Structure 1
Amino acid sequence: MESLIDSITAFLSGLFGLAQGGFDGVNQVMGLLIAVIAALVMPAWSRLWATALGAAFVHILIGVIRPVLDGAALTLPPLLTLSFWMTVLALFLGYAIVIAVFFFIKTLFTGGRHRHRVHVH
């Protein structure tokens, strides 16, 4: 039983470390702009995970495109390495945290409800 608790603790510690690393990656100007736009576009809490995944994808895409705009050759990220996917997971967790905070602030200002239009037929 102690081994199970130690394993769970180690897993949660690693997950927290990934989230903290992703939060550090998001906590820059580009990441905050992506998170604000994502929170403004996100329609409901149920779309948080999809929105965070999209934001992480946009973050990676900008990282690939930015050097090309500066005149460098196009280089793809190392898609077949574990470190790349750990970075994507960290960014995903970081964006999930930041987007959730921004969306919460958005719901405070908008009343938390979406006004549905009533269609009369």
Structure 2
Amino acid sequence: MESLFDSIGAFVGGVFGLAQGGFDGVNQVMGLLIAVIAALLMKAWKGLWATALGAALVHVAVGVIRPVLDGGAFVLPDLLSLTFWMGVLALFLGYAIVIAVFFLVKSLVTGGGLGHRKAAH
């Protein structure tokens, strides 16, 4: 039974470590701009996961296109490596956290998005 709890603890610790790594990747100027735009475009809380996935994919796309704009060669990331997909998963978790915070602030400022619905009379 202890080994089960140890395994669960190791898994949860790994997920938190991955989220922290993704949060560090998002906590840059480019990542924060992507997160703010994503939070502004998000309509409701149920769209958080799709919005975070879209933001992570935009982050990867900008990372690929940016060197080309600076005069470098077009190089695709190694899509078949586990490290690439772990990085995308970390970005996804980081964007989910940051977009949720920004959307919460947006909801508090605009007065909507927290599940309050006006009664139809």
TM-score of the superposed pair, with normalisation by structure 2:
0.93
| Residue 87 of structure 1: aligned partner | 87
Taking the TM superposition and a 5 Å limit, the aligned residue runs for 1:5-24 are 5-24=5-24
Q: List alignment gaps of at least 5 residues for structure 2.
A: none
Tell me the alpha carbon deviations over residues 53-112 of structure 1, each in whole angstroms, 9 at most, x when there is no partner: 000000000000000001111000000000000000000000000000000000001112
| Residue 66 of structure 1: aligned partner | 66
Where 2:64 maps in the other structure, the secondary structure is helix
| Residue 106 of structure 1: aligned partner | 106
The one-letter amino acid paired with 2:79 is L
Where 2:4 maps in the other structure, the secondary structure is helix
Inter-partner Cα distance in structure 2 for 1:108 and 1:23: 23
Where 2:49 maps in the other structure, the secondary structure is helix
Could you tell me how far 1:16 is from its partner in structure 2?
Answer: 0.2
Count of residue pairs brought into register by the alignment:
117
The one-letter amino acid paired with 2:74 is L
Could you tell me how far 1:21 is from its partner in structure 2?
Answer: 0.2
Q: Between the two proteins, what is the percent identity of the paired residues? A: 77
The one-letter amino acid paired with 2:57 is F
Aligned CA-pair RMSD: 1.6
The one-letter amino acid paired with 2:35 is A
TM-score of the superposed pair, with normalisation by structure 1:
0.93
1:96 and 2:114 matched = no
Q: List alignment gaps of at least 5 residues for structure 1.
A: none
